[in-house]
Amino acid sequence: MLGSLYKLAKTLAQFGLGIAALALSALYFYQNTIIYPASVNDGHGYCATPDEYDIPYELVQLKTPDGETLQCYSMKQDSKDPSYTNKTILILSPNAGNIGHGLPIASIFYKQFGYNVFIYSYRGYGKSTGSPNEIGLKKDADTVMDHLTSDSQYQQSSIILYGRSLGGAVSIYIAATKSSSIHAIILENTFLSIRKTIPHIFPILKYAAGFVHQKWESELLVINIPSSIPVLLLSARKDEIVPPSHMDEIYNLLQSDYKQMYKFENSSHNDTVLQATYWDKIHQFIRDKVNPVGL
């Protein structure tokens, strides 16, 4: 009888190990689908356009070095208007959805604050071609920056990065690698690395974080952002996706001569933008800490 129980226990253990190995294999090979849920929130469905918000725009289709096409909306102010601010907001979108979902935010920057706005869909999101991955999204960011710095109006304006969640990681990458073209950064609820968010979101997988190959190690890049670039950080203290301690550590790692973090004590990951003083903090930061190019 003991022999039979031993065989049963051994079989169950082997079965359990097999299931665990299968789960880890799935985590490794299919994690892009999990990390970049491009089709969520009708991401590949209808995509609103800026004219629906009474914003003049140009649809820009940018080609990446590896042959993908990025869907972009370019929203320029009249540079001859006496009230022209000579400032441009590059919106780096959070995960899921498409750039049509970001237009209410673009509208605030464009219509209320009077800034130029540029927004694009990462590869595989919205109407952009390809499949998302870390290397590809960084190529997308390089392509967009090449466009902005070769455009006659954008290159003569102060470029401010506005990144939420995943967009914050993209912003940190841009600021660390294209710093000469960046004049300020706004980060909301972004992370030190994807691997370090795993125990917070999926506690059961905390020992499997090493299988995550989409790393986005912002903590290694943020120290390369020059001290001359001012940074505003906006942190939800009840963030259920990114531990608030990640924003705290990003703040500590930043070498910026001016850095300011505002903590929204009752905010979660996706509703920070709705907090009462959120836009006041952003407007004040851009107005007071970002000089127009040439001044």
Question: pLDDT of 90-138, one tens digit each?
Answer: 999 998 789 999 999 999 999 999 999 999 999 999 999 999 999 999 9
Residue 295 lies inside a defined structural domain of this protein: no
Q: Are residue 27 and residue 51 in the same domain, yes or no?
A: no
- Only one residue has tokens 């665990």, namely 20
Q: Are residue 25 and residue 53 in the same domain, yes or no?
A: no
pTM: 0.88
Q: Are residue 186 and residue 281 in the same domain, yes or no?
A: yes
pLDDT at 63: 98
Cβ-count burial 239-268 (b if 16+ within 10 Å, e if not): bebbbbebbebbbebbebeebebbebeebe
Q: Are residue 24 and residue 126 in the same domain, yes or no?
A: no
Best CA proximity match to 237, nearest among 247, 252, 225: 247
Distance of alpha carbon 239 from its chain centroid, rounded?
16
**For 67, how many CA atoms within 13 A lie in the half-sphere containing its CB?**
0
β-bridge mates for residue 185, sequence order: 161, 231
Q: Are residue 73 and residue 183 in the same domain, yes or no?
A: yes
pLDDT at 20: 40
Number of domains in the chain: 2
pLDDT at 204: 52
Token reading at 120 = 């694009």
Q: Are residue 27 and residue 163 in the same domain, yes or no?
A: no
| C-alpha to C-alpha distance for 193 and 198, rounded to whole angstroms | 9
The β-bridge relationship of strands 231-236 and 158-164 is unpaired
Angle between helices 134-148 and 166-177 (to 10 degrees): 60
Q: Are residue 10 and residue 123 in the same domain, yes or no?
A: no
Residue 218 lies inside a defined structural domain of this protein: yes
Judge contact between 156 and 292, C-beta under 8 A.
no
For each of the chain's 295 residues, which pLDDT tens digit applies? 444 444 434 443 444 434 444 444 555 555 677 788 888 778 888 999 999 999 999 999 999 999 999 999 999 999 999 999 999 999 999 987 899 999 999 999 999 999 999 999 999 999 999 999 999 999 999 999 999 999 999 999 999 999 999 999 999 999 999 999 999 999 999 999 988 887 666 555 555 556 677 889 999 999 999 999 999 999 999 999 999 999 999 999 999 999 999 999 999 999 999 999 999 999 999 999 998 775 5
79 Cβ neighbours under 8 A, 6+ residues apart: 86, 153
Residue 155 lies inside a defined structural domain of this protein: yes
Residue 195 lies inside a defined structural domain of this protein: yes
β-bridge mates for residue 261, sequence order: 233
Q: Are residue 108 and residue 250 in the same domain, yes or no?
A: yes
Best CA proximity match to 75, nearest among 96, 94, 53, 92: 53
pLDDT at 91: 98
β-bridge mates for residue 92, sequence order: 163
Q: Are residue 53 and residue 135 in the same domain, yes or no?
A: yes
- Look up the domain containing 27 and give its range: 1-35
β-bridge mates for residue 59, sequence order: 73
**What is the domain-level CATH number for residue 106?**
3.40.50.1820
CA-CA-CA-CA torsion for 248, 250, 254, 256, nearest 10 degrees?
-70
| C-alpha to C-alpha distance for 87 and 156, rounded to whole angstroms | 9
Q: Are residue 27 and residue 118 in the same domain, yes or no?
A: no
Q: Are residue 31 and residue 48 in the same domain, yes or no?
A: no
